Homo-oligomer: A and B are copies of this chain.
Amino acid sequence: MSTLISDLEYRAYRLRLHALKATTKAGSGHITSALSAADIIAVLFFHVMKFDLTKPDDPSSDRFILSKGHAVPIVYAAYRELGVVSEEELYTYRQFDSVLEGHPTPRFEYIDVATGSLGMGLSIGAGMALEAVRTDYDEPYTYVLMGDSEVAEGSIWEAAQIASYYKLNRLIGIIDVNRLGQSTPTMAQYDFKDYEAKWSAFGWHVITVNGHSIVELLDAFSKAHHVKHKPVMIVAKTVKGYGIASIEGQEGYHGKAFKTEELDNRIAELRQRFSKAASIKKEEPPTQKRPQKKERKAPTLKPVQLPFGSGESIATRKAFGIALVEYGKQVENLFSLDGEVKNSTFAELFEAAFPERFVQCFIAEQNMISMGVGFVARGAIPFCSTFGAFFARAFDQVRMAAIGRAPLRLVGSHAGVSIGEDGPSQMALEDIALMRTLPSSVVLYPCDAVSTFKLVGAMIEYVDGISYLRTTRGATPVIYDAREEFPIGGCKVIRQSTHDVAVVVAAGITVYEALKAHEELQKDDISIAVIDCYSIKPLDSKTIRALATKSKGYVVTVEDHYIAGGLGEAVGFSLRNDDLHISSLAVDKLPRSGTSAELLAFEGIDADAIVAAVKRDISSNITRIRRKKIMSTALE
């Protein structure tokens, strides 16, 4: 035992030294937050956790999440000490070409998820722990290290209650209570009764320890491993900057690296504090090569018989539920996470078919998204569903998932004003804008059951980033043949003729308004083409451009969403340099309660509005001639 303790004290000293040097070299970084966590990390990485450096993805291995992402130098230090990061590489911390970023991202092979926006780690850990239970890998532990400032984030308490609800006893949290936030002491400071009361009340087994005592930490983890039916929270009393006496526990040192000229003195302080550990001489760890990250492989789906056909009317939200069940039959690691609206999103169909792969996340969207990230990190394919409006509640979590390149599948129901009487609080009107803005995201908005069904399959196969499916509340007629294909990035030309005078680009509910407008205009002998733009990102601008050019150059976009960041801007921006005239109909007034038809009319996105826009545009006699822009002229 005493050898173990002295070894771990040695490791903790070495981690501090590595972190100190790395941050000083970088000229920035959160050294004081790293120092308070050094002993915890040493105990975890050099004794408690079971993992294989050659197989970071092994589902039987324990997992670690650094929720207080800014303290990452101490984790890089651990991998340095384990031999998979060389001293040279450690000093690339925060440099452009380094995978050792300022906050952890999966660009570094041993990081599963991106952190840095605080308060998400415990939810991610809960997702990992639950996935392990649900897939019979119930042996591994998931460890989550949090800061004490981030415990103010509500998402932490969402995770707290869900972990306790699902009795995740192999989820072990550690709070590094160093008392100081970025700019001020935390609310609870060193009030450990407060921590104990809160976490106990939330159903956790709480162990309070001195976070700088290797002995107490070892004891705490040992006790934690014997707890049944409850998650465990280790509340560790620490000191910010611990090890460098001159700044220990002082305000004003958050996120500040030491100056190069100070380094020798700081190292001397470390040696003085940890004289015993510092006197130990061990050989440098041999540098090991890191295994390459496995490419995320998309499952290949077998064709599925669609359980509906033309003539039927089915809400796309219901088609999503049906599709999830059908694909769930062949994709074993498909999960459904729902935010207590399963009877609205139709995730309830999946629950009925595969109860063990359905996770009720209750009304806690932030936790649902981060749990989804945890499921993804262990290789599962979760679909997170709620009202489209409520992804706004968890958009920081979605943003962080995108930074971690997690292929999270999101499904938002109750799109737009078409939901009617419930009013604006329940209407998804910003969701397309939110999801489009993320790198590598895919935004899908099908109008009928067939396209919805096919696109759910496309989402399963899409592994390069976030994919989002927007579904509609009301039933809509099936307009596509079951054999039709709907690739991501495509669109469908559903009406066209040789004498079209405009093309209407619609999606979801407005496709039916466009079809009505088409009929209406026919009565006046006006022909228009209609595009079902089911893939809003990527956008099939090539097809839209080609059809618009054939249709006298007039384009009308129409969407049940606010204009900024929506379909209209996407199309307008994409075709801005083309010789076209583009009118965009979108929600531009704050909506209210009313019938679906009243609201579509109020916002000017119904068939009448389309008819009026087409008539107005084509009668506008636009006769401008694009100036010749010739290099020689431009530079004259």
Q: Please give the residue numbers on chain A whose beta carbons come within 8 Å of chain B beta carbons, in ascending order.
A: 26, 28-29, 69, 94-96, 98, 101-103, 105, 107, 114-119, 149-150, 152-158, 161, 165, 181-184, 186-187, 194, 197-198, 200-202, 340-344, 348, 360, 362-367, 389-390, 392-393, 395-396, 399-400, 402-403, 405, 421-426, 429-430, 433-434, 436-440, 501, 525-526, 537, 552-554, 562, 564-566, 568-570, 572-573, 575-577, 579-582, 584, 588-590, 592-595, 598-599, 602, 618-631, 633-635
Contact = CB atoms under 8 A, between A and B. Distances in A.
A426 B103 CA distance: 9
A604 to B, nearest CB: 14
Contact of A105 (B181, B592, B598): B592
A303 to B, nearest CB: 32
A421 B341 contact: no
A182 B626 contact: no
Contacts of A341: 182-183
Contact of A117 (B403, B405, B425, B582): B425
13 contacts: A101-B593, A116-B422, A152-B158, A182-B340, A183-B341, A403-B425, A403-B590, A430-B437, A553-B627, A568-B573, A569-B573, A620-B631, A624-B626
Nearest to A164: B187
A498 to B, nearest CB: 12
Nearest to A583: B577
Contact of A633 (B348, B392, B433, B552): B552
A598 B421 CA distance: 51
Contacts of A618: 629, 631, 634-635
Contact of A119 (B183, B363, B594, B598): B363
Contact of A423 (B103, B198, B344): B103
A116 B423 contact: yes
Contacts of A629: 552-554, 581, 618, 620-623
Contact of A152 (B181, B363, B400): B363
A262 to B, nearest CB: 19
Given A393-B117, A569-B569, A340 B501 contact: no
Contact of A182 (B96, B344, B570): B344
Contacts of A389: 117, 396, 399
Contacts of A584: 573
Contacts of A565: 433, 436-437, 564-565, 569
Given A439-B562, A564-B537, A184 B421 contact: no
Nearest to A96: B594
Contacts of A423: 94, 101-103, 105, 116
Contacts of A69: 425
Given A565-B437, A573-B576, A621 B630 contact: yes
A367 B154 contact: yes
B421 A26 contact: yes
A536 to B, nearest CB: 10
A197 B201 contact: yes
A576 B582 contact: yes
Contacts of A153: 154, 158, 363-364, 393
Contacts of A200: 197, 201
A562 B348 CA distance: 36
A593 B342 contact: no
A621 B626 contact: no
A631 to B, nearest CB: 5
Given A365-B396, A403-B424, A564-B565, 18 more contacts: A96-B599, A103-B593, A150-B363, A182-B340, A182-B343, A430-B434, A433-B564, A440-B590, A501-B634, A525-B635, A552-B633, A552-B634, A554-B634, A572-B573, A573-B576, A573-B584, A621-B629, A623-B630
Given A181-B363, A433-B433, A626 B396 contact: no
Contacts of A631: 618-621
B425 A183 contact: no
A527 to B, nearest CB: 10
A292 to B, nearest CB: 19
A547 B592 CA distance: 40
A633 B552 CA distance: 9
A103 B633 CA distance: 60
A554 B628 CA distance: 12
A282 B102 CA distance: 70
Contact of A116 (B426, B552, B573, B620): B426
Contacts of A392: 117, 395-396, 399
A194 B160 CA distance: 13
Contact of A399 (B201, B430, B438, B634): B430
A570 B364 CA distance: 33
